[in-house]
Chains A and B, each alone.
Chain A
Amino acid sequence: MKSPSLAISAVVCAAVLLGPPLVQGQPLPRDPVERARIIAQVLEANARQLTLFDRRGQAVGTVGLRDLYTQPVFSPDTKRMAVIRPDLDKETNDLWVIEVATARATQVTSSKPREGANSPAWSPDGTTVAYVALRDGYFGLYRKSLAAGGQEELLFKNSAPLTLTDWSQDGRFLVYFSTDLTGGALFALPIAAAGERTPIEIFRSKFQAQGPRMSPDARFVSFVSNSSGRNEVYVVPFDPAAAPAAAASLVPTQISDQGGIGMAFWRRDGKELFYLAADRGIMAVEVGAGTPQFGKPRVLFRPAAEIVPGVAPNSTSVSRDGERFVIAVPRPQMRQLTVYDRQGAALSKVGQPGFYVQPNLSPDGARAVVMRNDPQTGNQDIWVIDLASGKGTAITSDVHPENAPIWSPDGRQVAYVSTREGIAGIYRKQADGTGEAELLFQYTPGAGMVLTDWSPDGKFMTFFTGVLVLVPVGDAKRPQDRKEIDWLREDYDVGQGRFSPDNRFLAYLSNEDNVERGEVWVRPFDAAKPDAPPTGKAVRVSKDGSVGMIAWREDGKELYFMTRNWEVMAVDITTSPTFTAGTPRMLFSLPGPLPGNPMQWKNVSRDGQRFIFAMPAAAASPSR
């Protein structure tokens, strides 16, 4: 049997972490059986149920079956819904229209492999749908009549990605945004113009700006920006006759007051504006005539707690009359930290279920450091959880996305990756939450890193980018002066470096032998020559694929990893005079796919007797 490649593992894992949208461009295995298995896993982890709610939050119906739906948008009469549905096998996204009453679905676009359509918007009369599509290397704004024989019509071609979010109610403009790490801009495309259409820049910012929607009278545009340090909903005036430079001088009016992450829709009569709050509350704001005047936001309803982190702006929308809301409801997101023994018996459940992922055990086995999503703020922070009491201590509590926590060798500190203004850095902080976070290293702007280990002598950290990278942190250099070392940079993928307890070897995951199969390998590591090419023979440890969870026993006599079938494996090893590995044996298996990314897990106690996982709160028992 074949195992998935690292990339494929990550498709599933990333999908399990946060759900759609799936990452486009991820390769799937070519072997049809393996391909089908991976697709089934992604579906199981990510399928959503289109669910209708009234203004009080009462579920009043569902539409169709669970599927990989995203970006649902009601037609003007609320009788149909445009959605984006990925076809994993074809590696496309396409636009579908579904009748709300009957769930009869019609495919509107048919994209070539590795192309796709996204971000639908309805014409005011409901006869036509506009969307963004990637065609032959270019993005474009297209429209297509839903009448029989309707043809795809290109309205505007662009090299950079763009996202359509509205079709003005007077039918004159398509409203879209383009945003990246350098900032964002909102545009209106006059679609009635003859010849080449020139977009009107509505607003531009050095911060992110997205989700523009035009007021029914086409005088204002709502959008979401992080200019204050967190996402909020704003409104700016729109004047298509204004000079282009005017867009830069507009001062937006803030509408939301406790964070607003998207879904800012205007009611058809212009008297109410809706948005999705940071805590995933569905908010409404009264809009007075004139300037206009905006009231204080009020909560219409909050989605059920167990799905909160999975409720995203692109999975939620509202009808033009403001009476119906649709949420593409993910499977429950709550996880229970659970400790298992070597036989797979659940020894204890730690605290209450929460939005946890990636629990890593402390060196003394008494605590776990986890990533935790706060449903109140939507923030993703690092917490330390005491396993005996279940008591949690916040290590971070801010709007910056934090991930990949690891323990210092002595268990007194934790390190993690925090991304600030587009730059990922490694920070460390005391494990009791006291003191200030200390920046240790900053990476290239815009580049991510997955931090996976801290060497036993405290002198190195390792992360991966497809390359296995070392960061010397034992010196006295300033963070900005520290240079990373590409320890293993090849044409195959390498990830999840793990230092051996004696600091003489690095275990890692790579697809060196088979591009479609991740395996566990071990190479000698010389801490005195970290920038020298790795010497010595690489030894393959796993036999039939691995998705990660590599861990060494403290005596250096056993190594652990997880298979693609969510089996926890153990291998007898020796490290002197050279590294040798026996035949892997299964300790126990868990019902997968498990949430989180096994390429980050360091969840085995040093003595190899305890294993901690963030299990779906209603997960079945393990089996042997």
Chain B
Amino acid sequence: MRLSTSAFVVAAVTLLAGSAWAHHNMSALFDFNDRVTVSGTLTRLDWRNPHIYVFVDGKSGANQTEIKGWSIEGPPPSFFRAREINRTDIEAAIGKTVTAEVSRARDGSSSGLLRVMTLPDGKVVSACPQNC
């Protein structure tokens, strides 16, 4: 199952549910205080609702030789389209190095919630304020 952060769902549901307490329903799965920078090769993109996913082979270790596959969840496609960032912008980075700042999953797995991603051409894709 997936979390729903599609903009109109958030609008319709979080307010209806009266959850002014919760800034972000993502907090159930991701720790906003556990901020991790993942740098490595973008291997795959899933550009669908309710969230996009980018998959990055992150490099770590002393010599940056250890590879760990990261699954990074982002806002829905409409969020990016409203910021004039399209699927093709990110698809063009597949096979190239990207850097993503994520809030790590609470289960400690190599998955996270996208905050900011820097594409190979230097373009910065921000998922704030939705994921901040």
- Residue ranges of A at the interface with B (Cβ–Cβ < 8 Å): 5-7, 9-11, 13-14, 17-18, 21, 23-28, 30, 114-116, 134, 137-139, 158-161, 179-182, 184, 208, 210, 226, 312, 314, 371, 380, 401, 403-404, 419, 422, 424, 443-450, 464-467, 483-484, 489-495, 511, 515, 597, 599-600
Q: Knowing that A134-B128, A180-B28 are A-B contacts, what are 18 other residue pairs whose CB atoms are under 8 Å apart, sorted by A's residue number? A: A5-B78, A6-B8, A26-B7, A137-B115, A159-B32, A180-B24, A181-B22, A182-B27, A401-B19, A424-B17, A444-B1, A446-B27, A448-B13, A466-B8, A467-B4, A491-B77, A492-B78, A599-B8
Give the Cβ gap from A311 to chain B, nearest Cβ, in Å.
13
Known: A134-B132, A404-B16, A448-B9. A161 touches B3 (CB 8 A): no
Give the Cβ gap from A74 to chain B, nearest Cβ, in Å.
22
In the complex formed, the residue of A with least CB distance to B14 is: A448
In the complex formed, the residue of B with least CB distance to A182 is: B27
Q: Is B44's beta carbon under 8 Å from chain A?
A: no
User: Do B128 and A114 touch (CB < 8 A)?
Assistant: yes
User: Do B16 and A161 touch (CB < 8 A)?
Assistant: no
User: Do A139 and B15 touch (CB < 8 A)?
Assistant: no
Please, could you name 13 A-B residue pairs with CB atoms under 8 Å apart, sorted by A? A7-B82, A14-B11, A18-B15, A23-B7, A115-B128, A115-B129, A208-B21, A447-B25, A466-B6, A467-B50, A492-B78, A515-B78, A597-B16
Provide the residues of chain A in CB contact with B129, threshold 8 Å: 24-25, 114-116, 134
User: Do B3 and A447 touch (CB < 8 A)?
Assistant: yes
User: Do A27 and B79 touch (CB < 8 A)?
Assistant: yes
Known: A134-B128, A137-B132, A181-B25. A490 touches B19 (CB 8 A): no
Known: A182-B28, A599-B12. A490 touches B48 (CB 8 A): yes
User: Do A443 and B1 touch (CB < 8 A)?
Assistant: yes
User: Do A448 and B78 touch (CB < 8 A)?
Assistant: no
Provide the residues of chain B in CB contact with A138, threshold 8 Å: 132
Provide the residues of chain B in CB contact with A490, threshold 8 Å: 48-49
Provide the residues of chain B in CB contact with A467, threshold 8 Å: 2, 4, 6, 48-50
Known: A444-B2, A449-B4. A491 touches B11 (CB 8 A): no
User: Do B23 and A180 touch (CB < 8 A)?
Assistant: yes
Provide the residues of chain B in CB contact with A11, threshold 8 Å: 11
Q: Is B59's beta carbon under 8 Å from chain A?
A: no
In the complex formed, the residue of A with least CB distance to B76 is: A466
Provide the residues of chain A in CB contact with B50, threshold 8 Å: 465-467
Rounded to whole angstroms, the CA-CA distance of A9 and B21 in the bound complex is: 24
User: Do A600 and B12 touch (CB < 8 A)?
Assistant: yes
Q: Is B126's beta carbon under 8 Å from chain A?
A: yes
- Residue ranges of B at the interface with A (Cβ–Cβ < 8 Å): 1-29, 31-35, 47-50, 75-79, 81-82, 87, 101, 103, 106, 115-116, 126, 128-130, 132
A-B contact count (CB 8 A): 212
Known: A134-B132, A446-B3, A489-B49. A181 touches B8 (CB 8 A): no
Rounded to whole angstroms, the CA-CA distance of A261 and B42 in the bound complex is: 46
User: Do B79 and A25 touch (CB < 8 A)?
Assistant: yes
Rounded to whole angstroms, the CA-CA distance of A565 and B101 in the bound complex is: 41
User: Do A23 and B17 touch (CB < 8 A)?
Assistant: no
Provide the residues of chain A in CB contact with B106, threshold 8 Å: 182
Known: A446-B29, A489-B49. A465 touches B22 (CB 8 A): no
Provide the residues of chain B in CB contact with A226, threshold 8 Å: 21
User: Do A445 and B28 touch (CB < 8 A)?
Assistant: yes
Give the Cβ gap from B72 to chain A, nearest Cβ, in Å.
15
User: Do B128 and A160 touch (CB < 8 A)?
Assistant: no
Provide the residues of chain B in CB contact with A159, threshold 8 Å: 32-35, 103
Rounded to whole angstroms, the CA-CA distance of A210 and B9 in the bound complex is: 25
User: Do A180 and B12 touch (CB < 8 A)?
Assistant: no
Provide the residues of chain A in CB contact with B21, threshold 8 Å: 179, 184, 208, 210, 226
The listed residue with most A CB atoms (<10 A of its CB), out of B12, B20, B33, B77, is B12
Rounded to whole angstroms, the CA-CA distance of A139 and B24 in the bound complex is: 14
Rounded to whole angstroms, the CA-CA distance of A9 and B11 in the bound complex is: 9
Known: A403-B16, A419-B19. A137 touches B101 (CB 8 A): yes
Rounded to whole angstroms, the CA-CA distance of A161 and B12 in the bound complex is: 21
User: Do B28 and A7 touch (CB < 8 A)?
Assistant: no
What 8 A-B pairs come out closest when comparing CB atoms?
Answer: A466-B6, A448-B13, A27-B82, A180-B27, A446-B28, A465-B4, A160-B32, A10-B8
Rounded to whole angstroms, the CA-CA distance of A491 and B14 in the bound complex is: 22
Known: A179-B22, A465-B4, A489-B49. A25 touches B130 (CB 8 A): yes
Give the Cβ gap from A467 to chain B, nearest Cβ, in Å.
5
Rounded to whole angstroms, the CA-CA distance of A210 and B22 in the bound complex is: 10
Give the Cβ gap from B128 to chain A, nearest Cβ, in Å.
5
User: Do B7 and A27 touch (CB < 8 A)?
Assistant: yes
Provide the residues of chain B in CB contact with A184, threshold 8 Å: 21
Known: A5-B78, A493-B76. A450 touches B23 (CB 8 A): no
Give the Cβ gap from B77 to chain A, nearest Cβ, in Å.
4
User: Do B22 and A180 touch (CB < 8 A)?
Assistant: yes
User: Do A7 and B11 touch (CB < 8 A)?
Assistant: yes
User: Do A450 and B35 touch (CB < 8 A)?
Assistant: no
User: Do A137 and B128 touch (CB < 8 A)?
Assistant: yes
Give the Cβ gap from A450 to chain B, nearest Cβ, in Å.
5
Rounded to whole angstroms, the CA-CA distance of A25 and B128 in the bound complex is: 8
Rounded to whole angstroms, the CA-CA distance of A482 and B2 in the bound complex is: 14
Known: A419-B17, A447-B3, A465-B2. A9 touches B8 (CB 8 A): yes
User: Do B18 and A380 touch (CB < 8 A)?
Assistant: yes
In the complex formed, the residue of A with least CB distance to B10 is: A23
Provide the residues of chain A in CB contact with B24, threshold 8 Å: 161, 180
Known: A10-B7, A137-B116. A515 touches B28 (CB 8 A): no
Provide the residues of chain A in CB contact with B12, threshold 8 Å: 10, 13-14, 448, 450, 597, 599-600
User: Do B128 and A466 touch (CB < 8 A)?
Assistant: no
Provide the residues of chain B in CB contact with A489, threshold 8 Å: 48-49
In the complex formed, the residue of A with least CB distance to B29 is: A446
In the complex formed, the residue of B with least CB distance to A226 is: B21
Rounded to whole angstroms, the CA-CA distance of A371 and B13 in the bound complex is: 13
Provide the residues of chain A in CB contact with B6, threshold 8 Å: 7, 465-467, 493
Rounded to whole angstroms, the CA-CA distance of A515 and B3 in the bound complex is: 21
Give the Cβ gap from B103 to chain A, nearest Cβ, in Å.
7
